[in-house]
């Protein structure tokens, strides 16, 4: 397969995506005809993963542009207003992942650079920019794989968390990109996959991807990581990121910080793999990152079945922040960045912001 499946794409005037809530038991394509439907798909995690929701949001902006262009009263001013409304709607769905607002801002700026355009021209240029964002993400993921593969020790035992594979991107992955590249090169590789409660992205999605690729894996529950580290079974940890701020602090799926602490205690390298579009140098440190709070039902329920007593209070922060001093290196499409991170992150981030 080699990352050839598509996570999100444009087809016949609609945004198509794989419903990731149903994997691995069912592969269903969702077709979104309006920006509101794209926003719902992002909010309900039919599509998730920072780069993937950025791509979806870009196409959602295209839907808004075409809708306004086809409006009987549509003109370029009306389209710009509709794009700003669409951006506000989409950005609000998942506040932690910076790729979302980065993509919608890029689309809006592309439209605003046009000189006296017709409504149809605005819509067409917006769609072209969305296609470019998707293509660039795929290229960046392959570059992350090329840069990151050298960091995987010879035995190739990698622990990962959540899903930072093709399903979280345009189709190749961030944290899984070095793993895929190693496998393609014929190198030994074995992935320990954290199940990632409460949404089980590791058990449902990462395991599914690795099975498709025939990459050896062992699924573990989140609270087994320290056990396998102490036994010497883990050579390195590679995770993705939803936002990397100016000092190198990293926001990623809840549970990432715990893995970083465990990795430091066991002297295991802890790597973060992410495209430069994930870098947000407008925030000085991780304390400034907004942390999305999701429904407690996702903690107390599992596949429609209650697993906790009625009335119990459950917390559900969807992300945590790993301090920069626990990160061994950050792998981007520009290369591997080592501490101190600030200057190199600023340079990498400027290419996309």
Q: Which phi and psi angles does 273 have, rounded to 5°?
A: -115, 125
Nearest alpha-carbon partner for 121 in 150, 79, 71, 91: 79
What's the token pair of residue 20?
Answer: 């990731």
Decide: helix, strand or coil at residue 11. Answer: strand
Under 8 Å between Cβ of 58 and 106: yes
C-alpha dist (Å) from residue 220 to 111, 129, 162, 261 = 46, 40, 12, 18
Under 8 Å between Cβ of 32 and 14: yes
CA–CA distance, 187 with 18 (Å, rounded to integer): 30
Q: Which residue among the candidates 242, 249, 280, 320 is catalytic per the annotation?
A: 242
C-alpha dist (Å) from residue 155 to 44, 87, 225, 233, 270 = 38, 45, 18, 10, 16
The answer to whether residue 75 is catalytic is: no
**Would you tell me how many other CB atoms lie within 10 Å of the CB of residue 253?**
26
Packing angle between helix 76-91 and helix 35-43, nearest 10 degrees? 10
What's the token pair of residue 209?
Answer: 């991807």
Q: Where are the alpha helices (DSSP H) in 149-296?
A: 176-184, 201, 207-213, 225-230, 256-265
Instruction: Just list the catalytic residues.
Output: 242
């Amino acid at each position: 397969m080699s990352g050839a499946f598509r996570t999100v794409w444009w087809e016949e005037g609609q945004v198509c995506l794989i419903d990731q809530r149903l994997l691995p038991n069912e592969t269903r394509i969702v077709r979104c005809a309006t920006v509101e439907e794209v926003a719902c798909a992002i909010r309900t995690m039919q599509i998730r993963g920072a780069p993937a929701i950025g791509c979806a949001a870009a196409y959602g902006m295209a839907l808004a542009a075409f809708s306004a262009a086809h409006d009987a009263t549509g003109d370029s001013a009306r389209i710009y207003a509709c794009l700003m409304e669409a951006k506000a709607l989409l950005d609000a769905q998942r506040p932690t992942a910076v790729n979302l607002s980065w993509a919608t801002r890029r689309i809006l700026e592309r439209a605003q650079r046009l000189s006296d355009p017709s409504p149809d021209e605005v819509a067409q240029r917006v769609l072209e920019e969305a296609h470019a964002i998707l293509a660039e993400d795929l290229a960046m993921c392959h570059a992350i794989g090329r840069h990151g593969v050298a960091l995987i020790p010879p035995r190739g035992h990698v622990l990962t968390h959540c899903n930072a594979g093709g399903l979280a991107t345009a189709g190749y992955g961030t944290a899984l990109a070095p793993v895929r590249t190693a496998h393609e090169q014929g190198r030994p590789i074995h992935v320990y996959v954290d199940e990632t409660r409460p949404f089980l992205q590791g058990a449902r999605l990462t395991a599914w991807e690795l099975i498709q690729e025939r990459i050896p894996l062992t699924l573990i529950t989140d609270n087994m990581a320290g056990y396998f580290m102490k036994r010497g079974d883990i050579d390195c940890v590679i995770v993705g990121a939803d936002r990397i701020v100016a000092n190198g602090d990293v926001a990623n799926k809840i549970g990432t910080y715990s893995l970083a602490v465990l990795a430091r205690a066991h002297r295991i390298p802890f790597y973060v793999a992410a495209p430069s579009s994930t870098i947000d140098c407008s925030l000085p440190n991780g304390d400034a990152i907004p942390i999305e709070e999701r429904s407690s039902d996702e903690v107390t329920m599992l596949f429609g079945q209650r697993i906790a007593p009625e009335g119990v209070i459950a917390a559900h922060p969807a992300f945590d922040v790993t301090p920069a001093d626990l990160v061994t290196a950050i792998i981007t499409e520009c290369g591997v960045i080592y501490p101190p991170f600030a200057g190199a992150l600023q340079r990498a981030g400027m290419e996309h912001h």
